[in-house]
Amino acid sequence: MSEAGQAGQGAGTKVLVIDDSNTIRRSAEIFLKQGGYEVVLAEDGFDALAKVNDCEPHLIFCDILMPRLDGYQTCAIIKRNPKFSRVPVIMLSSKDGLFDKARGRMVGSEDYLTKPFTKDQLLQAVEQHKRAA
């Protein structure tokens, strides 16, 4: 498939993936690029906060369990900034617990995706929240 044909659905949409796992970051990057999205990667909350300002993503996937600054803190800081308060944040976690989902909502996340995720789950989440944004 040509580059032009492949860039159909995600063209112009920037997605930031924040996860301390290199494997998860790379998987998400491959899946999202196959969907035609522009991808920016961050390995922790501090890295992400610097990149949010620089790249101005349309959607953010944020791991919960990270060193230094966890996903809840990272999401809360992003959501407190008026410039990014409307950017959808989808929490990523290996646990599918009610408490984690509720806590994610409390800090402003729009959704929750359990790891490991499939390409279809990831792209479906982007499509769903891209329209809502």
* Residue 93 located in a structural domain: yes
Report the half-sphere exposure of 106 (CA within 13 A, side-chain side): 9
Domain assignment present for residue 7? The answer is no
- In tens, the pLDDT along 13-40 reads 999 999 999 999 999 999 999 999 999 9
Dihedral (CA of 68, 83, 14, 123) sign: positive
Per-residue model confidence as pLDDT tens digits over 43-64: 999 999 999 999 999 999 999 9
In a domain, 33, yes or no: yes
CATH of the domain at 73: 3.40.50.2300
Res 98: pLDDT: 87
Can you say how many angstroms the Cα of residue 128 is from the centroid of all Cα atoms in its chain?
Answer: 13
The pLDDT score that the predictor gives to residue 12 is 87
Neighbours of 123 (CB within 10 A): 19
Question: Is pLDDT of 8 > 60?
Answer: no
Residue 5 has pLDDT above 80, yes or no: no
Instruction: For residue 4, tell me if it sits in a domain.
Output: no
Count up the domains in the chain and report the number. 1
Residue 6 confidence (pLDDT):
41
Look at residue 114 and tell me if it is in a domain. yes
Confidence at 133, pLDDT banded by 50, 70, 90: low
Domain span at residue 115 reads 13-132
Give the global pTM: 0.91
In DSSP notation, 77-122 reads HHHHSTTTTTS-EEEEES---HHHHHHHHHTT--EEEESSPPHHHH
Predicted local confidence at residue 32, as pLDDT: 98
Is 8 part of any domain?
no
What confidence tens digit (pLDDT) does each residue in 58-117 have? 999 999 999 999 999 999 999 999 999 999 999 999 887 888 899 999 999 999 999 999
Reported confidence tier of residue 1, pLDDT bands at 50, 70, 90: very low
* Neighbour-count burial of 63, counting CB atoms closer than 10 A to its CB (0-12 exposed, 13-18 middle, 19+ buried): buried
Which of 37, 39, 9 is CA-nearest to residue 24?
Answer: 39
Which residue in 98, 103, 99, 97 sits closest to 89, CA to CA? 103
CB under 8 Å to 62, separation ≥6 — which residues?
Answer: 18, 19, 48, 71, 74, 75, 89, 90, 91, 92, 109
